[in-house]
Amino acid sequence: MANSWRISALAERHRALGSKLEDWSGMGTAWTYASDLADEHEAIRTRAGLMDVSGLKKVHYVGPHAESLLEYATSRDISKVYPGKSVYATMLNEAGKFVDDCVIYRTGPNAFMVVHGSGNGHEMLVRSAQGRQVAVLFDDDLHDLSLQGPLAVDFLAEHVPGIRELPYFHHLQTKLFDRPVMISRTGYTGERGYEIFCKAADAPAIWDGILEQGKGLGIIPCAFTALDWLRVESYLLFFPYDNSEMYPFADQPAGDTLWELGLDFTVSPTKGEFRGGNEHRRLQGKERFKIFGVLLDGDKAAEAGDTLWADGKQVGVITCAMYSRLSGKSMAIARMDVPYAEQGAPLEVKGSLAVSAIAHSLPFDDPEKKKRAAKG
Protein backbone atom coordinates (compact mmCIF):
# COMPACT_ATOMS: atom_id res chain seq x y z
CA MET A 1 0.00 0.00 0.00
CA ALA A 2 2.91 2.34 -0.68
CA ASN A 3 0.73 4.61 -2.80
CA SER A 4 -2.16 4.88 -0.35
CA TRP A 5 -2.79 8.33 1.07
CA ARG A 6 -6.52 8.06 1.81
CA ILE A 7 -7.81 6.16 4.84
CA SER A 8 -11.12 4.34 5.20
CA ALA A 9 -12.75 4.67 8.61
CA LEU A 10 -13.64 0.99 8.18
CA ALA A 11 -10.05 -0.22 7.75
CA GLU A 12 -10.06 -2.18 11.00
CA ARG A 13 -13.42 -3.79 10.12
CA HIS A 14 -11.90 -4.98 6.85
CA ARG A 15 -8.77 -6.35 8.51
CA ALA A 16 -10.91 -8.26 11.01
CA LEU A 17 -12.67 -9.90 8.03
CA GLY A 18 -9.34 -11.05 6.60
CA SER A 19 -8.46 -8.23 4.19
CA LYS A 20 -4.91 -7.00 3.69
CA LEU A 21 -6.24 -3.67 2.34
CA GLU A 22 -4.75 -3.42 -1.13
CA ASP A 23 -4.43 0.02 -2.71
CA TRP A 24 -7.14 1.35 -5.02
CA SER A 25 -7.24 5.03 -6.02
CA GLY A 26 -5.00 5.86 -3.08
CA MET A 27 -7.16 4.15 -0.43
CA GLY A 28 -6.61 0.81 1.29
CA THR A 29 -9.50 -1.27 -0.08
CA ALA A 30 -10.79 -4.73 0.83
CA TRP A 31 -10.19 -6.63 -2.42
CA THR A 32 -10.94 -9.93 -0.68
CA TYR A 33 -12.00 -11.24 2.71
CA ALA A 34 -11.41 -14.66 4.24
CA SER A 35 -14.90 -15.62 3.05
CA ASP A 36 -15.71 -17.33 -0.25
CA LEU A 37 -16.29 -14.91 -3.14
CA ALA A 38 -18.98 -17.26 -4.45
CA ASP A 39 -20.92 -16.73 -1.21
CA GLU A 40 -20.59 -12.96 -1.56
CA HIS A 41 -21.73 -13.07 -5.18
CA GLU A 42 -24.69 -15.24 -4.22
CA ALA A 43 -25.65 -12.91 -1.37
CA ILE A 44 -25.87 -9.88 -3.66
CA ARG A 45 -27.75 -11.78 -6.37
CA THR A 46 -30.26 -13.42 -4.00
CA ARG A 47 -30.34 -11.37 -0.77
CA ALA A 48 -28.08 -8.36 -0.17
CA GLY A 49 -24.44 -7.57 0.47
CA LEU A 50 -22.70 -4.58 2.04
CA MET A 51 -19.52 -3.13 0.51
CA ASP A 52 -17.24 -0.24 1.38
CA VAL A 53 -16.63 1.63 -1.88
CA SER A 54 -15.23 4.75 -0.23
CA GLY A 55 -12.20 4.54 -2.53
CA LEU A 56 -14.31 6.22 -5.20
CA LYS A 57 -13.27 9.86 -5.54
CA LYS A 58 -16.07 12.10 -4.27
CA VAL A 59 -15.73 15.73 -5.32
CA HIS A 60 -18.07 18.69 -4.83
CA TYR A 61 -18.26 21.36 -7.54
CA VAL A 62 -20.11 24.40 -6.21
CA GLY A 63 -20.73 27.84 -7.67
CA PRO A 64 -22.41 29.68 -10.56
CA HIS A 65 -20.05 28.09 -13.14
CA ALA A 66 -20.38 24.52 -11.84
CA GLU A 67 -23.08 23.56 -14.34
CA SER A 68 -21.22 24.93 -17.36
CA LEU A 69 -18.03 23.22 -16.17
CA LEU A 70 -19.75 19.82 -16.09
CA GLU A 71 -21.71 20.51 -19.26
CA TYR A 72 -18.54 20.87 -21.32
CA ALA A 73 -16.58 18.13 -19.53
CA THR A 74 -19.13 15.31 -19.61
CA SER A 75 -21.44 13.52 -22.03
CA ARG A 76 -24.72 14.38 -20.32
CA ASP A 77 -27.13 17.32 -20.65
CA ILE A 78 -26.60 18.71 -17.15
CA SER A 79 -29.60 21.04 -17.43
CA LYS A 80 -31.80 17.92 -17.21
CA VAL A 81 -30.31 16.92 -13.84
CA TYR A 82 -32.37 18.53 -11.06
CA PRO A 83 -31.70 18.52 -7.30
CA GLY A 84 -32.27 14.98 -6.04
CA LYS A 85 -31.42 13.46 -9.44
CA SER A 86 -28.18 11.84 -10.57
CA VAL A 87 -26.87 10.53 -13.89
CA TYR A 88 -24.13 8.23 -15.13
CA ALA A 89 -21.79 10.09 -17.49
CA THR A 90 -18.57 9.61 -19.39
CA MET A 91 -15.68 11.97 -20.04
CA LEU A 92 -13.63 12.15 -23.25
CA ASN A 93 -10.39 13.76 -24.28
CA GLU A 94 -10.05 16.06 -27.30
CA ALA A 95 -9.58 13.02 -29.55
CA GLY A 96 -13.02 11.71 -28.59
CA LYS A 97 -11.59 8.85 -26.54
CA PHE A 98 -12.84 7.68 -23.14
CA VAL A 99 -10.83 8.85 -20.12
CA ASP A 100 -13.21 8.39 -17.18
CA ASP A 101 -16.76 7.71 -16.08
CA CYS A 102 -18.62 9.21 -13.17
CA VAL A 103 -21.97 9.66 -11.48
CA ILE A 104 -23.10 13.28 -11.23
CA TYR A 105 -25.41 14.19 -8.35
CA ARG A 106 -27.14 17.55 -8.29
CA THR A 107 -27.38 18.56 -4.65
CA GLY A 108 -28.59 22.14 -5.17
CA PRO A 109 -29.15 24.83 -7.83
CA ASN A 110 -25.41 25.49 -8.19
CA ALA A 111 -24.08 22.45 -6.36
CA PHE A 112 -23.00 19.06 -7.67
CA MET A 113 -21.20 16.05 -6.29
CA VAL A 114 -19.29 13.99 -8.82
CA VAL A 115 -18.21 10.47 -7.91
CA HIS A 116 -15.28 9.71 -10.19
CA GLY A 117 -13.99 6.34 -11.33
CA SER A 118 -10.35 5.37 -11.79
CA GLY A 119 -9.53 7.63 -14.75
CA ASN A 120 -8.17 11.16 -14.73
CA GLY A 121 -11.53 12.96 -14.99
CA HIS A 122 -11.09 14.57 -11.59
CA GLU A 123 -7.76 16.10 -12.59
CA MET A 124 -9.23 17.34 -15.88
CA LEU A 125 -12.11 19.02 -14.07
CA VAL A 126 -9.82 20.66 -11.51
CA ARG A 127 -7.75 22.18 -14.33
CA SER A 128 -10.89 23.36 -16.13
CA ALA A 129 -12.23 24.96 -12.95
CA GLN A 130 -9.28 27.34 -12.62
CA GLY A 131 -10.36 30.94 -13.19
CA ARG A 132 -14.07 30.13 -12.96
CA GLN A 133 -16.56 30.82 -10.20
CA VAL A 134 -16.62 27.26 -8.95
CA ALA A 135 -15.19 25.79 -5.77
CA VAL A 136 -13.74 22.28 -5.90
CA LEU A 137 -13.79 20.23 -2.69
CA PHE A 138 -12.31 16.73 -2.63
CA ASP A 139 -14.37 15.14 0.14
CA ASP A 140 -12.57 12.23 1.77
CA ASP A 141 -14.56 12.55 4.96
CA LEU A 142 -17.60 11.35 3.02
CA HIS A 143 -17.73 7.55 3.03
CA ASP A 144 -19.73 5.41 0.62
CA LEU A 145 -21.33 2.17 1.83
CA SER A 146 -23.03 0.21 -0.94
CA LEU A 147 -25.94 -2.05 0.04
CA GLN A 148 -26.82 -4.09 -3.03
CA GLY A 149 -29.27 -6.89 -3.75
CA PRO A 150 -32.99 -7.67 -3.96
CA LEU A 151 -33.52 -7.42 -0.19
CA ALA A 152 -31.66 -4.13 0.24
CA VAL A 153 -34.89 -2.15 -0.07
CA ASP A 154 -36.65 -4.39 2.47
CA PHE A 155 -33.95 -3.69 5.03
CA LEU A 156 -33.85 0.05 4.40
CA ALA A 157 -37.64 0.31 4.41
CA GLU A 158 -37.55 -0.60 8.12
CA HIS A 159 -35.41 2.47 8.83
CA VAL A 160 -35.93 5.08 6.10
CA PRO A 161 -39.45 6.37 5.35
CA GLY A 162 -40.23 6.62 1.64
CA ILE A 163 -37.24 4.60 0.46
CA ARG A 164 -39.43 2.32 -1.68
CA GLU A 165 -40.61 5.34 -3.67
CA LEU A 166 -37.07 6.56 -4.43
CA PRO A 167 -36.62 6.13 -8.22
CA TYR A 168 -33.52 4.74 -9.90
CA PHE A 169 -30.73 7.35 -10.08
CA HIS A 170 -32.32 9.60 -7.47
CA HIS A 171 -31.10 10.43 -3.97
CA LEU A 172 -32.44 11.85 -0.72
CA GLN A 173 -31.10 13.40 2.46
CA THR A 174 -32.27 11.44 5.47
CA LYS A 175 -31.09 9.59 8.58
CA LEU A 176 -30.07 5.99 9.15
CA PHE A 177 -29.65 4.80 12.75
CA ASP A 178 -30.11 8.46 13.68
CA ARG A 179 -27.04 9.45 11.64
CA PRO A 180 -27.29 11.99 8.78
CA VAL A 181 -26.85 10.30 5.39
CA MET A 182 -27.51 10.79 1.71
CA ILE A 183 -28.96 7.63 0.20
CA SER A 184 -28.68 7.18 -3.55
CA ARG A 185 -30.41 4.51 -5.59
CA THR A 186 -27.31 3.60 -7.53
CA GLY A 187 -24.68 0.88 -7.54
CA TYR A 188 -22.39 -1.28 -9.61
CA THR A 189 -23.95 -4.72 -9.45
CA GLY A 190 -26.90 -4.88 -11.85
CA GLU A 191 -29.18 -5.38 -8.83
CA ARG A 192 -31.52 -3.03 -7.04
CA GLY A 193 -29.21 -1.29 -4.65
CA TYR A 194 -28.38 1.80 -2.67
CA GLU A 195 -25.30 3.81 -1.83
CA ILE A 196 -25.23 5.31 1.64
CA PHE A 197 -23.04 8.41 1.89
CA CYS A 198 -22.13 9.25 5.48
CA LYS A 199 -19.55 11.05 7.57
CA ALA A 200 -16.38 9.11 8.31
CA ALA A 201 -17.14 9.27 12.02
CA ASP A 202 -20.50 7.59 11.45
CA ALA A 203 -19.33 4.91 9.01
CA PRO A 204 -18.41 2.24 11.60
CA ALA A 205 -21.76 2.53 13.40
CA ILE A 206 -23.72 2.37 10.13
CA TRP A 207 -21.64 -0.57 8.86
CA ASP A 208 -22.11 -2.48 12.12
CA GLY A 209 -25.80 -1.60 12.32
CA ILE A 210 -26.58 -2.87 8.83
CA LEU A 211 -24.72 -6.15 9.37
CA GLU A 212 -26.15 -6.75 12.83
CA GLN A 213 -29.75 -5.81 12.07
CA GLY A 214 -29.64 -7.30 8.56
CA LYS A 215 -28.39 -10.70 9.67
CA GLY A 216 -31.90 -12.14 9.57
CA LEU A 217 -32.19 -11.16 5.90
CA GLY A 218 -28.86 -12.80 5.10
CA ILE A 219 -26.96 -9.54 4.56
CA ILE A 220 -23.20 -10.12 4.69
CA PRO A 221 -20.07 -8.02 4.09
CA CYS A 222 -18.73 -8.33 0.54
CA ALA A 223 -15.28 -7.47 -0.76
CA PHE A 224 -14.38 -5.45 -3.82
CA THR A 225 -13.49 -8.44 -6.01
CA ALA A 226 -17.11 -9.63 -5.83
CA LEU A 227 -17.84 -6.67 -8.10
CA ASP A 228 -15.77 -8.30 -10.84
CA TRP A 229 -18.08 -11.31 -10.84
CA LEU A 230 -21.17 -9.11 -10.84
CA ARG A 231 -19.92 -6.77 -13.53
CA VAL A 232 -19.21 -9.63 -15.94
CA GLU A 233 -22.82 -10.74 -15.71
CA SER A 234 -24.19 -7.18 -15.85
CA TYR A 235 -21.89 -5.56 -18.47
CA LEU A 236 -20.28 -2.99 -16.19
CA LEU A 237 -16.87 -1.78 -17.32
CA PHE A 238 -14.02 -0.90 -14.97
CA PHE A 239 -11.34 1.49 -16.25
CA PRO A 240 -8.59 0.65 -17.13
CA TYR A 241 -9.11 -3.12 -16.91
CA ASP A 242 -11.29 -3.37 -20.05
CA ASN A 243 -9.51 -0.63 -21.96
CA SER A 244 -6.62 -0.22 -24.36
CA GLU A 245 -4.62 1.29 -21.50
CA MET A 246 -4.42 -2.34 -20.31
CA TYR A 247 -4.58 -4.03 -23.74
CA PRO A 248 -2.74 -1.64 -26.06
CA PHE A 249 -3.14 -1.45 -29.80
CA ALA A 250 -0.10 -2.55 -31.78
CA ASP A 251 0.17 0.65 -33.80
CA GLN A 252 -2.01 3.28 -32.09
CA PRO A 253 -1.97 5.20 -28.79
CA ALA A 254 -4.27 4.10 -26.00
CA GLY A 255 -7.84 5.33 -26.12
CA ASP A 256 -11.20 3.75 -26.92
CA THR A 257 -14.34 5.30 -28.34
CA LEU A 258 -17.74 5.12 -26.68
CA TRP A 259 -18.95 3.21 -29.75
CA GLU A 260 -16.34 0.53 -29.14
CA LEU A 261 -17.05 0.29 -25.43
CA GLY A 262 -20.82 0.27 -25.89
CA LEU A 263 -21.09 3.46 -23.84
CA ASP A 264 -22.51 5.69 -26.56
CA PHE A 265 -25.82 5.70 -24.64
CA THR A 266 -24.19 8.06 -22.13
CA VAL A 267 -24.34 10.93 -24.64
CA SER A 268 -27.64 12.70 -24.04
CA PRO A 269 -29.84 13.13 -27.16
CA THR A 270 -30.07 16.84 -26.31
CA LYS A 271 -26.34 17.21 -25.71
CA GLY A 272 -24.63 20.20 -27.29
CA GLU A 273 -20.92 20.83 -27.58
CA PHE A 274 -18.65 19.01 -25.14
CA ARG A 275 -15.00 18.02 -24.94
CA GLY A 276 -14.31 15.44 -27.63
CA GLY A 277 -17.91 15.54 -28.83
CA ASN A 278 -17.19 16.34 -32.48
CA GLU A 279 -14.60 13.55 -32.69
CA HIS A 280 -16.99 11.18 -30.90
CA ARG A 281 -19.63 11.75 -33.55
CA ARG A 282 -17.10 11.47 -36.39
CA LEU A 283 -15.87 8.11 -35.12
CA GLN A 284 -19.28 6.43 -35.26
CA GLY A 285 -19.08 3.38 -37.50
CA LYS A 286 -15.29 3.25 -37.32
CA GLU A 287 -15.02 0.76 -34.48
CA ARG A 288 -11.71 -1.14 -34.30
CA PHE A 289 -13.15 -3.64 -31.79
CA LYS A 290 -16.24 -4.16 -29.68
CA ILE A 291 -16.80 -5.09 -26.07
CA PHE A 292 -18.76 -8.33 -26.19
CA GLY A 293 -19.56 -11.33 -24.04
CA VAL A 294 -18.12 -14.84 -24.16
CA LEU A 295 -19.89 -17.96 -22.93
CA LEU A 296 -17.36 -20.71 -22.24
CA ASP A 297 -17.79 -24.47 -22.11
CA GLY A 298 -17.16 -26.12 -18.75
CA ASP A 299 -17.25 -25.03 -15.14
CA LYS A 300 -13.97 -23.10 -14.88
CA ALA A 301 -13.46 -19.36 -15.12
CA ALA A 302 -11.03 -17.92 -17.65
CA GLU A 303 -8.43 -15.36 -16.65
CA ALA A 304 -7.90 -11.81 -17.82
CA GLY A 305 -5.54 -11.88 -20.77
CA ASP A 306 -6.70 -15.25 -22.13
CA THR A 307 -7.02 -14.96 -25.90
CA LEU A 308 -9.90 -15.76 -28.25
CA TRP A 309 -9.33 -17.50 -31.58
CA ALA A 310 -11.35 -18.23 -34.70
CA ASP A 311 -10.48 -19.05 -38.30
CA GLY A 312 -6.89 -19.73 -37.30
CA LYS A 313 -6.20 -16.27 -35.88
CA GLN A 314 -6.57 -14.33 -32.65
CA VAL A 315 -9.82 -12.34 -32.66
CA GLY A 316 -10.05 -11.06 -29.11
CA VAL A 317 -8.85 -10.98 -25.53
CA ILE A 318 -10.75 -11.65 -22.30
CA THR A 319 -10.65 -8.74 -19.85
CA CYS A 320 -12.69 -10.14 -16.95
CA ALA A 321 -14.25 -13.54 -16.30
CA MET A 322 -16.18 -15.56 -13.73
CA TYR A 323 -18.00 -18.83 -13.15
CA SER A 324 -21.41 -18.62 -11.48
CA ARG A 325 -22.59 -21.51 -9.38
CA LEU A 326 -26.04 -19.89 -9.45
CA SER A 327 -26.42 -20.19 -13.22
CA GLY A 328 -23.81 -22.88 -13.83
CA LYS A 329 -22.21 -20.75 -16.54
CA SER A 330 -18.65 -19.65 -17.26
CA MET A 331 -18.79 -16.09 -18.62
CA ALA A 332 -16.44 -13.31 -19.65
CA ILE A 333 -16.22 -9.78 -21.00
CA ALA A 334 -13.87 -9.44 -23.97
CA ARG A 335 -12.43 -7.01 -26.48
CA MET A 336 -13.33 -8.65 -29.77
CA ASP A 337 -12.75 -8.02 -33.46
CA VAL A 338 -15.95 -6.52 -34.87
CA PRO A 339 -16.84 -9.36 -37.33
CA TYR A 340 -16.80 -11.91 -34.48
CA ALA A 341 -18.85 -9.84 -32.02
CA GLU A 342 -22.05 -11.58 -33.08
CA GLN A 343 -24.31 -13.79 -30.97
CA GLY A 344 -23.29 -17.43 -31.31
CA ALA A 345 -20.04 -16.92 -33.23
CA PRO A 346 -17.81 -19.95 -32.45
CA LEU A 347 -14.57 -19.25 -30.57
CA GLU A 348 -11.67 -21.05 -28.94
CA VAL A 349 -10.15 -19.87 -25.66
CA LYS A 350 -6.39 -20.19 -25.18
CA GLY A 351 -4.33 -19.37 -22.12
CA SER A 352 -5.23 -20.47 -18.61
CA LEU A 353 -7.94 -22.63 -20.24
CA ALA A 354 -8.22 -24.38 -23.59
CA VAL A 355 -11.96 -24.68 -24.22
CA SER A 356 -14.58 -23.92 -26.83
CA ALA A 357 -16.82 -20.90 -26.44
CA ILE A 358 -19.28 -18.70 -28.26
CA ALA A 359 -19.66 -14.96 -28.52
CA HIS A 360 -22.62 -13.84 -26.44
CA SER A 361 -24.50 -10.56 -26.19
CA LEU A 362 -24.27 -8.51 -23.00
CA PRO A 363 -25.48 -8.36 -20.31
CA PHE A 364 -25.77 -12.03 -19.38
CA ASP A 365 -27.93 -11.29 -16.33
CA ASP A 366 -31.19 -9.34 -16.58
CA PRO A 367 -30.69 -8.20 -20.20
CA GLU A 368 -33.65 -5.83 -20.02
CA LYS A 369 -32.21 -4.24 -16.85
CA LYS A 370 -35.49 -4.52 -15.00
CA LYS A 371 -34.08 -5.42 -11.58
CA ARG A 372 -32.04 -2.30 -10.96
CA ALA A 373 -34.95 0.01 -11.89
CA ALA A 374 -37.78 -1.98 -10.22
CA LYS A 375 -40.51 -0.03 -8.43
CA GLY A 376 -42.13 -0.59 -5.04
Binding residues for substrate: 195
Peptide bond into 269 cis (omega under 30): no
Q: Which residues are annotated as a binding site?
A: 195
